[in-house]
Amino acid sequence: IPADKDDNKTKDDAAKAQNKDHLRKFMESVLKTVTKLKQLKRDISTNYTEASGEKSVKLLAEHIGKLEKEYDTLQEEVASGENSGFDGAWWSGASAKMKISTFVCSCASATEVKVRKDKPFLEKLADDDDGEKPRKRPRTDGSSKNNHGKGDANGGSDGTKSDRRPKKSKKEKKDVAKPKRK
């Protein structure tokens, strides 16, 4: 009979570990959603006019706040689980809170999709004076993009023209007079 108790204890411990891992992964998912929403909010607030992006930014900020509140609730649930030993009663309460958090996450994801679809219709901030993208800085080491830093643009490593002679074509090679053998 003691062997059965050990088997039950092992199964119970495995179930507790699985529940704890499930909650941890869910919390990571909530954090990823918060991060995505924060990045989108930052993008809209920095690249689009305040008037056109104001509604989207407010909506995203509202959902970010809700998700952060849900994350805090789940962290409190983890703390209470550690106190209770992650037993079955704890898991039933934690899974109920996870269901609520799932609903909040799905609402936030739907808002993200809506804002991303509306993004092309927002008014972008004005570019530079001429409306062109800023140009890249010229290379200061004298190398060109194609020679990967091997010498200067002329091909020489010391700043002079290359010592290499141009290759001859096949026709030029044939035209060269070969000395006759005697």
What are 108-131's pLDDT values in tens digits?
999 999 999 999 888 988 765 455
Tell me the mean pLDDT in the region 82-86: 88
State the distance between the two ends of the chain, measured CA to CA, in whole angstroms: 109
Judged against a pLDDT cut of 90, whether residue 178 lies above it is answered with no
Query: Rounded to whole angstroms, how far apart are CA atoms 78 and 91?
Result: 10
Q: What local confidence, expressed as pLDDT, does residue 180 receive? A: 64
* 156/162 Cα distance (integer angstroms): 4
Does pTM top 0.85 for this prediction?
A: no
Mean per-residue pLDDT for 3-29?
Answer: 84
The pLDDT assigned to 160 comes to 54
pLDDT band at 43 (very low <50, low <70, confident <90, very high): very high
- Would you state the pLDDT for residue 179? 60
HSE-CB for 52 with a 13 A CA cutoff: 13
pLDDT for the residue 171: 63
Question: What average pLDDT does the structure give for the chain?
Answer: 79
pLDDT given for residue 10 in this prediction: 85
CB 92 within 8 Å of CB 20: no
pLDDT category, 132, cuts 50, 70, 90? low
